[in-house]
Structure 1
Amino acid sequence: MKVLACDKVDAAAIAALRAAGHDVSEGNALKGAELIAALEGVQGLLVRGATKVTADVLRAAPSLKVVVRAGTGLDNVDQVVAKECGVVVSNTPNANSVSVAELAIGLMLALERHVVPASTDLRAGVWEKTKYMGRELAGRTLGIFGFGRIGREVATRARAFDMHVIAYDPMYDSAGEGFSWVRMVKRDELFAQADVITLHVPLTKDTKDSIGAREFSLMRKDAILVNCARGGVVNEEALHAALSGGTIRAAATDVFGTEPPGASPLLALPNLLPLPHLGASTAEAQKRAGTEAADILNAELARLG
């Protein structure tokens, strides 16, 4: 069968698809009409996060049977229309968990120890020590908003830093086996009690803009926020107001509602540490995601015939 692989998926994925006998073509940054043209006669589509599989794309690709995202989340695929069109949609939720969790911990450290501004000053010839007095993670309360795969990986690493861990997830009443040391709390309690809040929920109609002015008003004035989930989970106007007005001390975000964010006013804030969506950008995560995605695509195409 014919497969289109987009967004520079790992080479191991391409090799696995070709080894299964599929005719694989590769595309990058395909949008709209260009993507539709590339999907002519294609049964399988392999993407990462950049390719938007919209309703128009799905309806214009009658031969398409399977879409697999090499990564977590499926907010770049119109799942409702995919179901209408009989297209199977899947992803690789386990592939990126460790990489995203490690980045979240790294951003906590970077904020608490002022790593970026201190390094910038030093490069400019300014030797500052007192100005950049930081705080330890040890003894701090970490609030994990979303206690799925990535949230649990973060909790495991936070424990190694001697942090107190609380978590909120509407799907779970208890932290589960192996996490007896994590205290599950109510939604508002998490925002009110945590020194550090880290977000690990998918972007859905229920989570879009779910972190806004109300949530920031509940947080401690010296609290920090880390977002390695999806940009749309946080209302960016409310985040800007909270950071510029001193409602919270600092934030780090690996994600934006629109990527790249262009001239977002958030980028001008000195107490925001922004990154260009690097959560899954490790060699290990990309190899896992590509290999798992290829395995899923091969299995689904074989099943569908």
Structure 2
Amino acid sequence: MSEISKAFILGAGLGSRLRPLTDTLPKPLVPLFHEPLASHTMRHCLEAGIECFAINTHHIPAAWQQTYPESSFEGAPITFFHEPILLETGGGIKNIAPFIGDDPVLVYNGDILTDLDLTQLMAAHRGSGNVATLALFSEGPNCNVAVEDHQVVDLRHAHGIHPGTHQFTGIYIIEPEILPLIPANEKISIVPAFLELAALGKLGAYIADGASWHDLGTREEYFAAHQHLQDSGKATLPAIHPQAKIDPSAELDEYTIIGPNCVIEKNVKLRKTIAWPRATISENSNLYGCIVREQAAGEHQDQDL
């Protein structure tokens, strides 16, 4: 099997569960510790040897070009594949067939933050002879993937073999041999193709226990991901960005995140609050558990402003 140097970031979802944060941005571009979640994802991939990216778009596609105007990230080229009509995971993979070519590809859901060992996942896949290998956890809220002897034998109890033993992480590796199993020009999940591979004994399992993992599909997980980066020391930037303008009279607790070019005016009190880049918080404001996208004034708790 070839070395894995390509990654496909699934970025076309609507982000409905995270509204209103996704009203103006696709979910993978929502700021996480001052930079888009997608940048965290791509940096994770680059550290494992990925050299180029494909990203599918649908919701507010122009935001991707604005965020990565040179269609690259830290020197790695990005090819965008726009989906006027959402194709789901299987259709999205079929749509990037020209990018896949004859090479294996790392597929990475665009709404998760994890430190899962991608290098070990790649090594497990490379020596397996499988057409796809799924990264899984032994425990989780939705253990619907059945594993026997490092192979996935059933998903969602579709084959009637087992209701499930493991949680899917949203990260996997595919070989180009999966493409004939996905119908062209169709909105379809990748799961039917996985089920065919499972029946053929060609769907591998890599157990990623011990890795941190956050699905940023909810407001609670969005806050939890920030706290994880802060507590673990894995944030690449300080919680209070050096380019933020903060009046000396403002009071900020340790779990408040202030992005670049934010303006925090006089006598502001912030607790467990996240201010996106360029946000303004007016004087005498008192915020707890809030996310400030553009501007805030007054007293608020657990609100998105």
Fold shared by both chains (TM-score > 0.5) = no
Higher strand share: 2
Q: Highest relative contact order (Cα 8 Å, sep 6+), 1 or 2?
A: 1
TM-score, structure 1 normalization: 0.31
Higher helix share: 1
TM-score, structure 2 normalization: 0.31
